[in-house]
Chain A
Amino acid sequence: MLQRRIWGTVLVAAALAAPYAVYPVFLMKALCFGLFAVAFNLLLGYTGLLSFGHAAFFGFAAYVTGHAMKEWGATPELGILAGVAVAAAMGLVFGVLAIRRLGIYFAMVTLALAQMVYFFCVQAPFTHGEDGIQAIPRGKLFGLLPLDDMYVLYYVVLAVFGIGVWIVWRAIHSPFGQVLAAIRENEPRAISLGYRTERFKLAAFVLSATLAGLAGSVKTLVFQLASLTDVQWHTSGEVVLMTLLGGMGTALGPVVGAFVVTTIENYLADIGAWVTIIQGVIFVLVVTLFRRGIVGEALAFIERSRRR
Chain B
Amino acid sequence: MMTFLGIPIQALMGQLLLGLINGASYAVLSLGLALIFGLLNIINFAHGAQYMMGAYIAWMLLAYAGVNYWLALVVAPLAVGLIGVVIERLLLRRLYKLDNLYGLLLTFGLALIIEGLFRQAYGISGQAYQAPRLLQGGINLGFMFLPLYRGWVVLVALAACLAVWAAIEKTRLGALLRAATENPALVRAFGVNVPLLITGTYGFGAALAGFAGVLAAPLYSVNPLMGSNIIIIVFAVVVIGGMGSILGSVLTGFGLGLIEGLTKVFYPEASATVIFVIMAIVLLIKPAGLFGRNA
Interface residues, chain A, with chain B CB atoms under 8 Å away: 48, 50, 97-98, 100-105, 107-109, 111-113, 115-116, 119-120, 123, 233, 237, 240, 244, 272-277, 279-284, 287-288, 291
Contact = CB atoms under 8 A, between A and B. Distances in A.
Interface of B: 37, 42-43, 91, 94-95, 98-102, 104-106, 108-117, 119-120, 228, 232, 235-236, 238-239, 269, 272-273, 275-277, 279-280, 283-284, 287, 295
Secondary structure type dominating chain B contacts:
helix
User: B95, B105, B238, B276 — which one has the most chain A CB atoms within 10 A of its CB?
Assistant: B105
A283 B109 contact: yes
Contacts of A275: 116
Contacts of A50: 101, 104-105
Given A100-B287, A280-B110, A283-B108, 7 more contacts: A101-B295, A112-B235, A115-B232, A276-B119, A284-B91, A284-B106, A288-B94
Nearest to A184: B99
Contacts, number: 119
Nearest to B284: A97
A281 B113 contact: yes
22 contacts: A97-B280, A100-B284, A101-B283, A101-B287, A102-B295, A104-B101, A107-B104, A108-B235, A108-B238, A109-B279, A111-B235, A113-B276, A123-B269, A240-B105, A276-B115, A277-B117, A283-B105, A283-B112, A284-B106, A284-B110, A287-B106, A288-B106
A244 B105 CA distance: 9
A103 B101 contact: yes
A237 B46 CA distance: 13
A291 B101 CA distance: 12
A97 B287 CA distance: 9
Lowest 4 A-B CB distances belong to which pairs? A283-B109, A280-B112, A280-B113, A277-B116
Nearest to B33: A108
Given A101-B239, A103-B295, A104-B43, A112 B109 contact: no
Contacts of B272: 119
Contacts of A279: 109, 112
Contact of A274 (B116, B232, B283): B116
Contacts of A283: 105-106, 108-110, 112
Given A274-B116, A281-B113, A104 B106 contact: no
Contacts of B94: 288
A105 B34 CA distance: 12
A291 B277 CA distance: 35
Contacts of A109: 239, 279, 283
A48 B100 CA distance: 11
A7 B286 CA distance: 51
A244 B102 CA distance: 10
B241 to A, nearest CB: 12
A104 B104 contact: yes
Nearest to B91: A288
Contacts of B269: 123
Given A112-B279, A288-B91, A291-B102, A105 B112 contact: no
A14 to B, nearest CB: 31
B91 A116 contact: no
A108 B109 contact: no
A276 B112 CA distance: 6
Contacts of B110: 280, 283-284
Contacts of B104: 50, 104, 107
B240 to A, nearest CB: 9
B280 A103 contact: no
Contacts of B113: 276-277, 280-281, 284
B277 A282 contact: no
Contacts of B275: 112
A257 B254 CA distance: 41
A281 B116 CA distance: 11
B120 A97 contact: no
B116 A276 contact: yes
Given A274-B120, A277-B120, A283-B112, A105 B295 contact: yes
Contacts of B120: 272-274, 277
A276 to B, nearest CB: 4
A112 B119 contact: no
B111 A280 contact: yes
A237 B110 CA distance: 12
B208 to A, nearest CB: 19
Given A97-B283, A107-B101, A287 B119 contact: no
Contact of B276 (A116, A281, A284): A116
Contacts of A284: 91, 106, 109-110, 113
Contacts of B109: 279-284, 287
B286 to A, nearest CB: 10
A274 B91 CA distance: 21
Contacts of B43: 104, 107-108
B281 to A, nearest CB: 10
B133 to A, nearest CB: 35
Nearest to B287: A100
A116 B235 CA distance: 13
Contacts of B108: 237, 240, 283
B105 to A, nearest CB: 5
Contacts of B277: 116
A59 to B, nearest CB: 16
Contact of B112 (A98, A237, A244): A237
Nearest to A108: B235
